Chain A
Amino acid sequence: MEYNKSKKEIRIDKELNELDKFVIEFLEISRKFTDYVIVSGYVSILLGRSRASEDIDLLIPKINKESFTNLWEALQLNSFECLNTSNINEAFKMLDEHAIRFAKELPIPNIEFKTIKTDFDKYSFDNKLKVILKTDVLFISPLEAQIAYKLFLGSEKDLEDAKHLYEVFKEKLNKDELFKFINRFNVYEKFALMEEYGNKYKFRTR
């Protein structure tokens, strides 16, 4: 895995798993109608974390009814269903208030699809990183913001995701940026705990 910080690019030469393929299939349809950035748990998984996920969080800019209708129809044509409602008008209205979920065949995993609402969402979207896979390109939230946000969410799983990103990229992270977000979310104690706990046990190196 190669992170080119100035180009805001990460290159990964891995064979895609079923979760990656599911995300790419959805994005191949949705990107014709809207831009996006991937946030939260799947970012860590895409970048090597060894766990599965129930949902993939996508942030999109505010979308108009016509584009949403086209997107909805294209998703349906490709057997994606909205888990919240089968009514397009209801789904469009819901999107103003909360995330809506799309699944294909199985209800898990599903795509949690939501519009940008906060300054932090907008920052993640405007500063997204490009992840270049063998045959696809995906856009993810900047790592520093992602780590701090995961610490803010605060469950054990979230702290593990934050730890993974921090350890894999720590030599290349912008520390000022990271601590700016850590202060903003007031999660310094969690950051310290993540460091302390993660150094407690040693594993055999090969």
Chain B
Amino acid sequence: MATNTNLELDEWKKKNFMERLSFVKYWAEYIKNIDDKKWGAAQKLLIDSQFQMSRRFYNKFAETKEGRDKIKELKKSIANK
């Protein structure tokens, strides 16, 4: 039973990866055929919103001592990656 579940999971992961790689190909074709300004705007929306979320997260954490300690720990763990 466990083996079947693992096989299903492996198959699901493979399919998911295929879908993602296929989408990367689709996106590459898309940006080759449109103005840079158009794909740049879509990319900016995605990346800038992640920056905003992360800024909100750190600002919230920075409000408490416990949060600030967590940020310190995070910085240390990133440096040791």
Beta-carbon contacts of A157-173 to B below 8 Å, as 1s and 0s? Answer: 00110011001100000
How large, as a class, is the contact surface on chain A? 35 or more
B65 at the A interface (CB under 8 A):
no
B2 at the A interface (CB under 8 A):
no
Name A1-49 residues within 8 Å CB distance of B: 1, 12-19, 45, 48-49
Distance, CA A108 to CA B71, complexed state (A):
11
Instruction: Please name the residue on chain B nearest to A100 by beta carbon.
Output: B79
Identify 5 new A-B residue pairs, CB closer than 8 A, beyond the known A48-B31, A85-B79.
Answer: A17-B48, A18-B51, A105-B55, A164-B28, A197-B17
A160 and B24 form a contact (CB under 8 A): yes
Interface size (B, Cβ < 8 Å)?
38
Name B48-81 residues within 8 Å CB distance of A: 48, 50-51, 54-55, 58, 71, 74-76, 78-79
Distance, CA A174 to CA B25, complexed state (A):
19
State the main secondary structure of chain B at its contact with A: helix
B21 and A194 form a contact (CB under 8 A): yes
Residues of A participating in the B interface, judged by any CB pair closer than 8 Å: 1, 12-19, 45, 48-52, 54, 83-85, 100-101, 103, 105-108, 110, 156, 159-160, 163-164, 167-168, 194, 197-203
B44 and A15 form a contact (CB under 8 A): yes
A163 and B44 form a contact (CB under 8 A): no
A1 and B31 form a contact (CB under 8 A): yes
